[in-house]
Amino acid sequence: MKRIACFAAVAVGGLFACLPAMAQDYSGHTLTVGTWGGDIERLLREHVAGPLEAETGAKVEFLLGGSGDRLSKMAAERNNPTMDVTFQNIYEAPLALKDGLVVAPDAAAVPNAADVWPGMNEGCYAMSLVGLGIAYSKSLFPEEPEWADLWQPQFRGMMAYAPYPSSEGDGMLAVAARVAGADEHDPDAAFAKLAELGAPKLTYSSLDEVLSLMDAGEIAAAPMISGYVISNLANYEGIGFVFPKDPGPVLVRDMVCQVANSPEPELAQMFIDLAIGIDTQTAYAKELNFGPTNSKVALTEAEAANVINTPEEVASLLQMDWPYVIEQRSAWTDRWNKEILGQ
Amino acid sequence: MKPQITGMLVAPAAALMFGVFVLPFLFLLVLSFWSQVPGSLGLDTSFTLANYVRIFGDSYYLGGLWTTLWLSGLVTLICLVLALPLSRWIVLRAGRAKGLIIGLSILPLVCGALLPTLGLVNLLSPLGFINGALKSMGVIQSSLPLLGNITGVTIGLVQAFLPLMILPLITTMERLSQDYEKAATSLGARPVVVWQRILLPLLLPGIVAGSLLVFCASLTAFVTPQVLGQGKVVTFASLAYQQAALVLDWPFASALAIVMLIFLTLAGVLGALVTRNFGRVA
């Protein structure tokens, strides 16, 4: 009996040691989380906000929109932030940390951060892994294309791009530079090579818009982020998606950040801990085909087929010099407008 | 009414305008003379004219300004041509359906910009209703390019802002006595002459008001050019959005916005001059 009591005491003590803040009642508190709408918001509500509200009594409010809007909001509210947690992309997170807008990752405050693959918590906590690959029309590409295949003359003027600047646009410039035998540090080579593809047929504002046209063969191909496309392939029989090998797909990573000086720092840390925990990360992989960053997530072979989920796979991806790219942002946007769109 | 009471009644609206318009506008103006630190979200607050030099020294931005101006003019002209007969029909012939037709006419205005624009994408896209119908009738073999060009953006802007032309014209026409028209006709004036010499001069206040509203709305429109232009139609509003929300170069975006505001002011002054000149003539 004494042994059981001791075990119970240790177990309870251990639980409280692991989740010190969880025991506290946060009724009447509101945590504001900025993220993307759609499936991401749905999964976060189901796997993070719901459990957190049940555990703490706090209310979680989502602020939906683009990551650029959130970065602007953080900068504008620098001295009096209203957002506690924000989801940013791979290049925005280090920028936000450099400018003191977010708190550096801390495994002591967010225990699950210790389980994230080494080296991925750059700027903020790594949330998901995706790669920039090629979505293509099967009617125009009988076989899975490599990057260089996009430069075949018959596809000139038949590409679709996301609005620039974006991970997709910068990633495609990095690919174009490598196809030309250089890298992103040689923007002249990158822009000249990309311009050879002609002006895009479409700068898309929604996934459905580009996938419908690609399905019908109106658009040949588009550099797109894996998770979203793969999740939609079942709806479009005429579209394929491939991770090219030469060069490999460009690594794109979503990050979750604790906003500096936010009103609810403890709730923010709890939210982030749940977000990068095994349950949420598994749901991301199974439902969205977003690769988990938590090294303890176990996927079946079928589930792992479409996601990037190991350091070895990450190592095979093309990793860009984002700090350099960010410094070029303004100049490259002008060049994109003139040399790519304005042909 | 005593001046003190008038002042008290005006004060809340004036305070609101000062807080939500004048102060942000002044900040926007100051921001346009600052610069963004490259690779950072930080601002360099030393005074510079670099943003304006970039706008007026780069043919790309001047081209965007020119496209925005003539596109706004074109939309205004098309709206006027469509709204004149429609408004006259509503005033003179619609009868008991007048309220319903006016309500239907202003529907695009109350729906917001995004919903009708996305509806137009379904109509105008290569896989949309118009191309599908023409192909199935054998009129065309390949899709007509109705999106990603000036045609698509013009259709979208006319659809969105036609109510801004119809409403002032209806208001002006309703106040217009039909006696002038009858007198001119009885004196042998042909319909074209009646329109040219009688109706158009008398309708000028409504035409100026409607044209000003449509021109300014088109000049600053963002959603419609962005969605229907598919990144290929460069307008000043889409450039300002790109710089503010994607590049995060807020000083340059502010300078673009200030230039746009200057042209809005010029349009207003031009409208006032036309109306005043007309007043003398009338």
Question: Is B192 within a domain?
Answer: yes
pLDDT per position in chain B (282 positions), as tens?
677 888 889 999 999 999 999 999 999 999 999 999 887 888 999 999 999 999 999 999 999 999 999 999 999 999 999 999 999 999 998 888 999 999 998 888 888 888 899 999 999 999 899 999 999 999 999 889 999 999 999 999 999 999 999 999 999 999 988 888 889 899 999 989 998 898 999 999 999 999 999 999 999 999 999 999 988 899 999 999 999 988 989 999 999 999 999 999 999 999 888 878 765 544
Q: How far is A76 from chain B (nearest CA, A)?
A: 10
Question: What pLDDT score does A284 carry?
Answer: 95
Question: What pLDDT score does B178 carry?
Answer: 86
Q: How far is B41 from chain A (nearest CA, A)?
A: 7
Q: Do B40 and A99 touch (CB under 8 A)?
A: yes
Question: What pLDDT score does B95 carry?
Answer: 87
Locate tokens 């460009």: which residue? A250
Q: Do A342 and B226 touch (CB under 8 A)?
A: no
Distance CA B50, CA A269 (A): 42
Question: What pLDDT score does A11 carry?
Answer: 46
Q: Is B138 near chain A, with CB under 8 Å?
A: no
Question: Is B23 within a domain?
Answer: no
Give A163's contacts in chain B (Cβ within 8 Å): 231, 242, 246
Q: Do B245 and A68 touch (CB under 8 A)?
A: yes
User: According to the 3-state scheme, what is the secondary structure of B194-243?
Assistant: HHHHHHHHHHHHHHHHHHHHHHHHHHHCCHHHHHHHCCCCCCHHHHHHHH
Q: Do A200 and B38 touch (CB under 8 A)?
A: no
Distance CA B171, CA B207 (A): 11
Question: What pLDDT score does B206 carry?
Answer: 94
Question: Is B179 within a domain?
Answer: yes
Chain A contact residues (CB < 8 Å to B): 66, 68-69, 71-72, 75, 95-96, 98-99, 101, 161, 163-166, 199-205, 209, 212-213, 216, 218, 323, 326-327, 329-330, 333-334, 337-338, 341-342
Question: Is A15 within a domain?
Answer: no
Domain count across chain B? 1
Q: Tens of pLDDT along A10-41?
A: 444 444 444 444 458 999 999 999 999 999 99
Q: Tens of pLDDT along A310-325?
A: 778 888 889 899 889 9
Give B121's contacts in chain A (Cβ within 8 Å): 209
Q: Is B143 near chain A, with CB under 8 Å?
A: yes
Q: Is B226 near chain A, with CB under 8 Å?
A: yes
Best mutation target, B59, B234, B248, to test chain A (most A CBs within 10 A): B248
- Domain with A244 in it: what CATH number? 3.40.190.10
Q: Judging by beta carbons within 10 Å of its beta carbon (0-12, 13-18, 19+), is residue A225 exposed, middle or buried?
A: buried
A142 and A223 both lie in a single domain: yes
A109 and A157 both lie in a single domain: no
Question: Is B29 within a domain?
Answer: no
Pairing of strands A125-137, A250-259: antiparallel
Q: How far is A99 from chain B (nearest CA, A)?
A: 7
Distance CA A300, CA A287 (A): 13
Give A323's contacts in chain B (Cβ within 8 Å): 39
Q: How far is A6 from chain B (nearest CA, A)?
A: 54
Query: Mean pLDDT score of chain B, rounded to an integer?
Result: 92
Cβ-proximal residues to A201 (8 Å cutoff; 6+ apart), any chain:
A157, A158, A159, A160, A213, A218, A219, B148
Distance CA A292, CA A276 (A): 8
Q: Is B250 near chain A, with CB under 8 Å?
A: yes
Task: Confirm if A190 and A173 have CB atoms less than 8 A apart.
Answer: yes
Peptide bond into A247 cis (omega under 30): yes
A162 and A275 both lie in a single domain: no
Question: What pLDDT score does B280 carry?
Answer: 54
A201 and A325 both lie in a single domain: yes
Domain count across chain A? 2
Distance set, CA A192 to CA A15, A48, A173, A185, A243 (Å): 58, 45, 10, 13, 24
Question: Is A64 within a domain?
Answer: yes
Question: Is A82 within a domain?
Answer: yes
Pairing of strands A160-161, A202-203: parallel
Domain residues for A159? 130-251+319-341
Q: Tens of pLDDT along A236-273?
A: 999 999 999 989 899 988 999 999 999 999 999 999 99
Domain residues for B107? 56-281
A193 and A272 both lie in a single domain: no
Q: How far is A321 from chain B (nearest CA, A)?
A: 13
Cβ-proximal residues to A154 (8 Å cutoff; 6+ apart), any chain:
none
- Domain with B148 in it: what CATH number? 1.10.3720.10
Question: Is A37 within a domain?
Answer: yes
Nearest CA in chain B to A212: B127
From the CB of residue B98, how many other CB atoms can be counted at a distance below 10 Å? 16
Task: Confirm if A295 and A313 have CB atoms less than 8 A apart.
Answer: no
Question: Is A323 within a domain?
Answer: yes
A147 and A259 both lie in a single domain: no
A144 and A244 both lie in a single domain: yes
Residue A4 predicted with pLDDT over 80: no
Q: Judging by beta carbons within 10 Å of its beta carbon (0-12, 13-18, 19+), is residue A116 exposed, middle or buried?
A: buried
Q: How far is A338 from chain B (nearest CA, A)?
A: 7
Mean pLDDT across the stretch A152-156? 97
Q: Tens of pLDDT along A167-181?
A: 999 999 999 999 999
Question: What pLDDT score does A6 carry?
Answer: 45
**Which of B39, B148, B249 is facing A202, going by the closest CB pair?**
B148
Q: Do B247 and A329 touch (CB under 8 A)?
A: yes
A323 and A309 both lie in a single domain: no
Question: Is B232 within a domain?
Answer: yes
Interface predicted TM-score (ipTM) of this complex, two decimals: 0.84
A233 and A310 both lie in a single domain: no
Q: How far is A205 from chain B (nearest CA, A)?
A: 7
Question: Is A7 within a domain?
Answer: no
Question: Is A4 within a domain?
Answer: no
Give B226's contacts in chain A (Cβ within 8 Å): 205
Q: Is B231 near chain A, with CB under 8 Å?
A: yes
Q: Do B38 and A330 touch (CB under 8 A)?
A: yes
Closest CA to A108 of A226, A227, A273, A230: A273
**Chains A–B, number of C-beta pairs less than 8 Å apart:** 86
Q: How confident is the model at residue A2 (pLDDT cuts 50, 70, 90)?
A: very low
Distance CA A99, CA A72 (A): 12
Query: Mean pLDDT score of chain A, rounded to an integer?
Result: 90
Query: Is the CA virtual torsion A124, A129, A132, A137 positive or negative?
Result: negative
Question: Is A301 within a domain?
Answer: yes
Best mutation target, A70, A336, A337, to test chain B (most B CBs within 10 A): A337
A166 and A307 both lie in a single domain: no
Give A200's contacts in chain B (Cβ within 8 Å): 231
A191 and A135 both lie in a single domain: yes
Question: What pLDDT score does A23 carry?
Answer: 52
Question: What pLDDT score does B231 carry?
Answer: 83
Residue A328 predicted with pLDDT over 60: yes
Question: Is B28 within a domain?
Answer: no
Question: What pLDDT score does B1 carry?
Answer: 64
A201 and A305 both lie in a single domain: no
